[in-house]
Structure 1
Amino acid sequence: MLNILFAAPEDYWPVYEGLLRDALAAKGIKAKLGTDLPPEEVDYIVYAPNDRLKDFSPFVRCRAVLGLWAGVEKIVGNKTLTMPLARMVDPGLTEGMREWVTGHVMRLHLEMDRHIFGQDGVWRPEVPPLARHRPVTVLGMGALGAACGQALAALGFPVRGWSRSLRKVEGIETFAGPDGLAEALRDAAVVVLLLPDTPETTNVLNAETLALLRKGAFVVNPGRGPLIDDDAMLAALDSGQVGHATLDVFRTEPLPVGHPYWAHPSVTVTPHIASTTRPSSSVTVIAENVARTEAGLPLLHEVDRARGY
């Protein structure tokens, strides 16, 4: 019998309890689940950032911490967390992100806002370019970035992808490293940010990199708020270098009421809803990782502490 601590915001537990029990049982795993188990008896921790668990040192026999979120920036630097850590790569999360990104890129590409919000009696017959004339760059070639890039490529967009280390993704021209970043961004008409939040990715879109984009480019950020230098973005919006920014994530959330993004006519703010972990599919990932660890196999999606994701 394994002891599995569920350490997440309180409103998660009623949703996850039954689903997680069933997923573990389907793997033949007998487990005691709870939100308040003796630390010295815990074998696994299912974790999402919460106010209750900050110190992992009492969990002396814990084999792994299994994250419910794709992002681990709130936990990866915790020095008391010495056991293996896995992040969530969930099919439902990937599907949701692909749908959100595709929808917003198409909205911007087809310039739909002009017609949706321009019902003022003015006939505007301007036709947008075809997708093949509007190159897209996706920053981040992990599971989410690759899925979004391939969906856009299937619609006819020329897609380039960038990551810290080179990854081959079918249908996407990929680049890596500092020199590759400039090449990937040069003349991009749409930029989608799906990088993790690490010291190396902070302000990856700044005055210098924004200047590489095609004049009037669109920026879509469902990744992490610190990926964008906000002052540089606002300046690029004001100058017309960036035509529109659709932003789902921010350095401070909720986005403060007085933040310039709220009132800027060329910014769309969405409240961190691009995608989220789906309980029904994420529990199968958790159960699979417990089963793998018990069988002596490596964790799926284990975090590289040196890289931060």
Structure 2
Amino acid sequence: MSINVLYAGNPKLWPVYDFELSKALDEHGISAHLSRDITPEDVDYIVHAPNGPVQDFRSFTRTKAVLGLWAGVEKVVGNPTLTQPYTRMVDDGLTEGMTEWVTGHVLRHHLGMDQYIHRTDPIWYQPAPPLARDRTIAVLGLGALGAAVAQSLRALNFNVCGWSRNQKDIAGIDCHSGDDGLRDVLSRAEIVVLLLPRTSATKNILNAERLGWLPTGAVIINPGRGPLIDDQALLAALDSGQVGHATLDVFRVEPLPDDDPYWAHPKVTVTPHIAADTRPTSAARVIAENIRRGEAGEPLLHVVDRGAGY
């Protein structure tokens, strides 16, 4: 018997998801009817983007699981109509994309490349930057993405320390947790990478006080969530020189408004939420595996803990 899978993501991406999901399900021997238009009462699984067409889940009485296409779930986890299990996207494409973006910007700041790329006056002699082994990087958030980024930076010989709400143990990474651990990590960090989820506990985790714990001139890189940073505190820290530069990929309001001060600030680099985009090919394999698990009665992968918010 065929199962019904509703695609409730970006309509522009439907043709590629139709192809990739069909291929991935065929590889698992699963017969499925994929469509953007299925009567809610007949839907077995929803492939879902939080900004997609399905926001009210009450009519989906037969649906076994809602399978998210995004790593972030803050826009859907509090939806009172969502009673089905919800899984977030964790796949190798997202992880590799995030690791590449973060590594590129860490190296950019580590090597001081901006002074040459954006120079207005001739520059010939400059002292060489320190080696990676003499630079400390802090990664806040040690989930799947944070752990991969931390290990990638460690492989380049950076001193990497990490912080998470719950204590982690990652080979080669100096892991910390708790308030004292956060202060210890930030006080040593010349470059800080934010990869925490957005929850009530992580909102404004980089506020004025904690930005003051950083060594003077430290760099902030945020590909995680916009609300992790107190924007006014960061702007003040940039103006005072406490923070040397901020490279930001995520914001409280997206797209970032044209009049936002981040655009014009000389110590801020804005990128348009491109650090880790979902790749249909790899995402389809994760979705297909969860459908296989659902049909086999096995535990789903990456189920969201709604109490924790991720």
TM range (shorter): over 0.9
Aligned to 1:50: 51
The CA deviation at 1:145 is 0.5
| Structure 2 residue 149 is the aligned partner of structure 1 residue 143 | no
Q: Give the letter for the 1:42 counterpart.
A: V
How many Å separate the matches in 1 of 2:87 and 2:139? 24
Q: Displacement of 1:126 after TM fit?
A: 2.1
Specify the alignment match of 2:116 in structure 1: 115
TM superposition shift of 1:53: 1.2
Deviation of the 1:186 alpha carbon? 1.5
1:38, distance to aligned residue in structure 2 (A): 0.6
Partner of 2:200: 199
**Does the 8 A contact of 2:163 with 2:176 survive in 1?**
yes
Secondary structure at the aligned position of 1:33 is classed as: strand
Q: 1:279 to 1:51 in 2, by over 3 A?
A: closer
Amino acid at match of 1:200: A
Compare 48-57 and 222-231 and name the one that shifted more: 48-57
Q: Which residue of 2 aligns with 1:260?
A: 261
Q: Secondary structure at the match of 1:79?
A: coil
Asked if 1:14 is matched to 2:19, the reply is no
Partner in structure 1 of residue 247 of structure 2: 246
Residue pairs, 1:3-82, within 5 angstroms: 3-82=4-83
Q: Which residue of 2 aligns with 1:91?
A: 92
Does residue 103 of structure 1 match 2:107? no
1:194 & 1:233 partners in 2: Cα distance? 17
Query: Which sits farther off after the overlay, 115-124 or 54-63?
Result: 115-124
Q: Is residue 7–residue 50 contact of structure 1 (8 Å, CA) maintained in 2?
A: no
Q: How far 1:157 moved relative to its partner?
A: 0.9
AA partner of residue 138 (structure 1): V
Amino acid at match of 2:179: P
SS at match of 2:66: strand
* Offset, 1:295: 1.1
Instruction: After TM superposition, list the pairs within 5 Å mapping 1:256-295 onto structure 2.
Output: 256-295=257-296
**How many residues are aligned here?**
309
Matching of residues 158-169 of structure 1 within 5 Å: 158-169=159-170
1:226 aligned counterpart, secondary structure? helix
Distance (Å, rounded) in 1 between the aligned partners of 2:77 and 2:199:
10
* Cα RMSD for the two superposed structures: 1.0
The aligned amino acid for 1:14 is: P
Q: Deviations over 1:122-166 (max 9, x none)?
A: 323222112122211101101110111111111111111111111
Q: Cα offset for 1:52?
A: 2.2
Aligned partners of 2:50 and 2:73 also within 8 Å? no
Deviation at 1:275, TM superposition (A): 1.3
In structure 2, give the amino acid aligned to 1:156.
Answer: N
CA distance in 2, matches of 1:35, 1:141: 36
SS at match of 1:6: strand
Q: In the TM superposition, what is the alpha-carbon distance from 1:179 to its structure 2 partner?
A: 2.4
2: distance between equivalents of 1:36 and 1:170? 47
Q: Give ranges in structure 2 of 5+ residues lacking alignment.
A: none
Structure 1 distance, partners of 2:292, 2:52, is 28
Identical amino acids, percent of aligned pairs: 62
1:119 CA drift (Å) = 5.0
Cα separation, 1, equivalents of 2:218 and 2:125:
21
Distance, in Å, in 2 between the alignment partners of 1:256 and 1:287 is: 37
Cα deviation 1:204-252 (Å, max 9, x = unaligned): 1111111111110010000010000000000110111110100000001
Give the C-alpha shift of residue 46 in structure 1. 0.4
C-alpha distance 27-51 of structure 1, shift in aligned 2 (>3 A): closer
Local SS of the residue matching 1:186? helix
Q: Which amino acid aligns with 1:231?
A: Q
| In 2, Cα distance between equivalents of 1:129 and 1:119 | 24
